[in-house]
Amino acid sequence: MIHALLLLLVANGAPVIAWKLFGKLFAWPLDAGIMMSDGRPLFGRSKTWRGILSSIGLVSAVSWLMGYGLAIGAMFGGLAMIGDLSASYVKRRRGMIESSRARGLDTVPESLLPVVLLKSQLALNGLDIAAVVLLFFLIEEFVSPILYRLQIRKRPY
């Protein structure tokens, strides 16, 4: 269970680290500025190829170090990013601006998708999955404001 939580934290933190290291360099929007019929972006400018690739790459490396292998790490990072993108898609459809806060929606898809779909590979049961999702939510709620004060995150959530 702790390994899954650590992989989630790496998946979530990798784009932030990439932003701190590179600024706007390589920060190409994933949706290429596509606007939907509702007049809002598909995902928004804050969802970048660099963020997705840095997440998948770093999670793959950490997964390999944990003994799960690169493929499991790539799948985990990719699934976490799909969950994150789905939350952004829903938030845009609801008229919420980029990087706005939506409790639960900001953490549940990103954490639930990889742990449910890779539960066998990570040896997780239902209780483990619930604990990982809850702990990830709580960490995001309580650690993000601290990271903001330390100027690691752009926003306190």
The tens digit of pLDDT for each residue in 60-90 reads 999 999 999 999 999 999 999 999 999 999 9
- The answer to whether position 121 is within a domain reads yes
Domain count, the chain: 1
pLDDT at position 58, please?
98
Assess if residue 156 is contained within a domain.
Answer: no
Please report whether residue 116 resides in a domain.
yes
Q: Is residue 6 part of a domain?
A: yes
How big is the chain, counted in residues? Answer: 157
Q: Is residue 17 part of a domain?
A: yes
- Element holding 145 (H helix, E strand): helix 126-149
Per-residue confidence (pLDDT) for residue 10, from 0 to 100: 97
Q: How far apart are CA 119 and CA 129, in angstroms?
A: 8
pLDDT of residue 97: 81
User: Which portions of the chain are predicted below pLDDT 50?
Assistant: none
C-alpha to C-alpha distances, 81 to 7, 69, 77, 108, 138, nearest whole angstrom: 12, 19, 6, 12, 19
Task: List, for residues 105-120, the tens digit of each pLDDT value.
Answer: 889 999 999 999 999 9
- Residue in 139, 58, 62 with CA at minimum distance from that of residue 106: 139
- Mean pLDDT value across the chain: 92
Q: What is the pLDDT of residue 18?
A: 94
Range of the domain at 46: 2-149
The DSSP symbol for 41 reads B
Residue 120: inside a domain? yes
154 domain-assigned: no
